[in-house]
Amino acid sequence: MATLVPHIKYVWNRYGQATQRNGKDAVVELRITHNKRVKYISTGVRLRYSQWRDGMVINHQDCVELNRLFDGYKKKVYDIITDMQQEGKIDIFAIPMRLNKKEQRQNLSEFIRNRMEVRAYGKVPPLQYRYRYFVDFFFSWGKIKTFDDITDENVVAFDRYLEKRGLKASSKWNNYHRFLNSFICDAISAGIITHNPYKYIKIDQGNKSDGLKKCLTPEEFSRLRNAELPSEKLREQRDVFVVQTLLGMSYQDLADISRKNVQEVDGKPVLTGERHKSGVEYVKPILPEVQEILVRYNYKLPILKRGLYNSRLRDIAAAAGIDKPISSHWARHTGATLLLNSGAGLPIVAKVLGHSSTHITEKVYAKLLDGTVVNEVFKTNIGNLNNNSKN
């Protein structure tokens, strides 16, 4: 007896290649069965063994959104089947083509704005703002209006437009291309499109030395330390920034500061520990100013959520007359800059920063090191030595 209505079910790992042991992932597919014929439609979403149970996505950072998308996708298939029933013929092999036509009519702006709300949810306010700024900027540019417009040529045109606006490579990638790429990946995961131009186009992302621009000069750091601030809350967060800078610490590692982590080396206090990011051990000399601040707070700094901390830092910078968008990561770069400018060697700076090797330190701060080398050579006065030998 013929089945009147096709049976629809999501299946994962159809070929059994992904197992709990090998850790591989496999694609989720929509299986449509009708009159002993089967059609599989790939969702483009790949999951591991631990992320799929009983037809649902679990243990995934986007599981709620993916399950919602899967439900919506299945409803669209049912709608197409209903249309086919009314037309008098059900052809499950024609469903993908009809889906593509249906999806191409979907509003790109609506899709991106919906995804923006999901991606920005729970993020710190500055990152939420960056998402919204990008979306408004992108659609004001106006060259990509539909899913059909997501082509290699238009992504290149977008990059050239950003370049004409005078943006550096790192800024273009981190503030614009990175967001567009994430939305394109979402559209691919939702089965709306299949082509991602970023897989074929090399967009310059800048290099790590661009981070050197995200630091305060010694003069600016001095101004920030001595600026008159209008509130106790700002003064507290300046203390945190000063400690973070002079210890060269990441904001995440600041919470580990405690009296028990302080030891003495040759009669001088040092802070020891491991970086959360890499697990590499660090040794950070505690300068008198840092010691004074830590004692003031009984070794428990008033640490805020990162977004609020960054907001307070911008207020502090404004009060100090510094026109830079400083944030928590500026402290680490500023601390390294102060050390290198003072002539500290690579092994010392690497140990303080908690880098696993001096190669990392040299790579990140290559441009600054060039200037340090020049200054050190001039200090040697070897030119005069040569002149003296002639005499």
The pLDDT tens digits of the residues spanning 55-102 come to 999 998 888 888 988 998 899 899 899 989 988 899 999 998 887 766
Tens of pLDDT, residue by residue over 194-214, are 899 999 999 988 754 444 467
3-state secondary structure 23-63: CCEEEEEEEEEECCEEEEEEEEEEEEHHHEECCEECCCCCH
| Integer Cα distance of 219 and 202 in angstroms | 38
| Integer Cα distance of 130 and 175 in angstroms | 7
Query: What is the pTM for the complete model shown?
Result: 0.43
Question: Quick one: pLDDT at residue 37?
Answer: 92
Average pLDDT, the chain: 82
Rg, Å, the chain Cα set = 28
DSSP 154: H
Tens of pLDDT, residue by residue over 279-335, are 677 778 888 999 999 999 999 999 999 889 999 999 999 999 988 888 888 888 888
Q: How confident is the model at residue 140 (pLDDT cuts 50, 70, 90)?
A: very high
Q: How confident is the model at residue 106 (pLDDT cuts 50, 70, 90)?
A: low
Residue with tokens 């923006």: 116
Q: Check for a shared fold between 108-206 and 213-379.
A: no
| Integer Cα distance of 326 and 311 in angstroms | 9
Q: How confident is the model at residue 273 (pLDDT cuts 50, 70, 90)?
A: confident
CATH number of 108-206: 1.10.150
Query: What are the structure tokens assigned to 168, written together?
Result: 């550096």
Question: Quick one: pLDDT at residue 6?
Answer: 92
Q: Residue ranges of the domains in the chain?
A: 7-104, 108-206, 213-379
Tens of pLDDT, residue by residue over 247-272, are 888 888 888 888 888 888 888 888 88
Give the 3-state secondary structure of residue 388: helix
Question: Quick one: pLDDT at residue 189?
Answer: 81
Give the CATH fold of the 213-379 domain.
hpI Integrase; Chain A (1.10.443)
| Integer Cα distance of 251 and 309 in angstroms | 10
Q: Per 3-state DSSP, what percentage of the chain is helix, strand, and coil (rounded to 5)?
A: 60, 10, 30
